[in-house]
Structure 1
Amino acid sequence: MLVSEAPLMRLAIGRELAPGFELIHALGTASADRRLDAGAAPDALVVDLDTAERTGVPAFLVRLVERGFVGPRVLVSTHFQPEPAAAYSASCLTHFALARPWRPGSLRELMESVLGVASLRAAAGIR
């Protein structure tokens, strides 16, 4: 699930992930809550922190825990510095950080890694 109010951000993420990943778009945390209430069951979430509802994101992340969502959450922001974000991502099992703008392909690599797709592709000899 991609949670972002910004059309250009949804487009950029969609372009990078769409081949090989099915995306559920949510236009903010309220939209994401409605989709989850309606039965959407994403394997992972990408949450844009650079939104007008920035103060609502922590409450949304708490609601994910209350719902029992155990999948990875990738937090994307222009306020992250690339090196600390990479270090944070390497040290956590559920939350990952990605600095905006990211290097082309790095979001796909991160998603494949956290979902275990990279190891499946490597075992199958797929690039």
Structure 2
Amino acid sequence: MMLVSEEPLFRLAMGRELASDFELVPTLGIASADRRMDLGVVPEAVIVDLDSVQRAAVPTFLARLVERELSGPRILVSSHFRPEVAAAYSASSLTHFALSRPWRPGSLRTLVESVMGLSGLRAMTAGR
């Protein structure tokens, strides 16, 4: 899972919530993420901080993910999303999902597990 953000505290917050169950590839923004993928890193999913100073480069970056044939989900996180709008957006897409920032503890993990198809698997495993 690639974390795309220039902000160290944001990467730390994402890492705290996800590191126990996912292999994380933190990057220092869009250019860093592109370089990592040029070197052969193929993430299962990408989480992009839309509140970055590189915000204008996000559409081009997302288009390059399609060109690279990355099939995993893209989770867009922004303080400009209202929670209900982010939830409606996430429910209407197969590849792009949104999360309002700041999020409630566990919300990022829940969203990632859901879009990666892990939430049902965890529920079945817990019932054993």
3-state SS of the aligned residue for 1:19? coil
Q: Aligned partners of 1:23, 1:56: CA distance in 2, in Å? A: 22
Counting only pairs closer than 5 Å after superposition, residues 1-127 of structure 1 correspond to structure 2 as: 1-125=2-126
Q: Could you tell me which amino acid in structure 2 is paired with residue 111 of structure 1?
A: V
Q: Identity, % of aligned pairs?
A: 67
Q: Aligned partners of 1:53, 1:42: CA distance in 2, in Å? A: 20
Following superposition, the deviation at residue 70 of structure 1 comes to: 1.1
What TM-score results when the alignment is normalised by the length of structure 2?
0.96
3-state SS of the aligned residue for 1:16? helix
1:42-101 CA-to-partner distances (Å, cap 9, x unmatched) read: 110000000111101111001111111111000000000100100110111100000001
What TM-score results when the alignment is normalised by the length of structure 1?
0.96
Runs of 4+, deviation exceeding 6 Å: none
3-state SS of the aligned residue for 1:47? strand
Q: List alignment gaps of at least 5 residues for structure 1.
A: none
Q: List alignment gaps of at least 5 residues for structure 2.
A: none
Q: Aligned partners of 1:24, 1:41: CA distance in 2, in Å? A: 10
Q: Aligned partners of 1:40, 1:20: CA distance in 2, in Å? A: 19
Count of aligned positions: 126
Q: Aligned partners of 2:52, 2:92: CA distance in 1, in Å? A: 26
Q: Aligned partners of 1:27, 1:9: CA distance in 2, in Å? A: 11
Q: Aligned partners of 2:33, 2:116: CA distance in 1, in Å? A: 20
Following superposition, the deviation at residue 122 of structure 1 comes to: 1.2
Q: CA RMSD in A?
A: 0.9
Q: Aligned partners of 2:74, 2:8: CA distance in 1, in Å? A: 20
